[in-house]
Structure 1
Amino acid sequence: MLNVLKNRFEQGCKTSKYPKENVQLLPRYRGRPEINPDAPAEVASACAAGCPQEAIDAAAKTIDMGRCVFCGTCERIGKGQFVTFTQDFAISVAEKEHLITAGDLPDLAAHSRQHFKKLFGRSLQLRQVSAAGCNACEADLNVLATPFFDLARFGINFVASPRHADGIVVTGPISRNMKTALLQTFEATPEPRVVIAVGSCTLTGGPFRGSPEVSEGLDAILPVDLFIPGCPPHPMSNLHALLTFFK
Structure 2
Amino acid sequence: MFTSLEGRTVIVTGASKGIGRGIALRFGEAGLNVLVVSRTLAEAETVAAEIGPRASGFAADVTQEEDCAAMAAAAVERYGAIDVLCANAGIFPAAKLGQMTAADFDHVIGTNLKGTFLSVSAVLPEMKARKKGRIVLTSSITGPITGYPGWSHYGASKAGQLGFMRTASIELAPWNITVNAVMPGNIRTEGLDGLGADYIAAMEASVPMKRLGTVFDIANAALFFATDEAGYITGQGMVIDGGQVLPESLAALQEMGTA
Alignment TM class, shorter chain as reference: 0.3 to 0.5
Structure showing greater Rg: 1
Q: Which has the higher contact order (CA 8 A, sep 6+)?
A: 1
Q: What TM-score, normalized to structure 2?
A: 0.36
Q: What TM-score, normalized to structure 1?
A: 0.37
Relative to its length, the structure with more helix (as a share) is 2
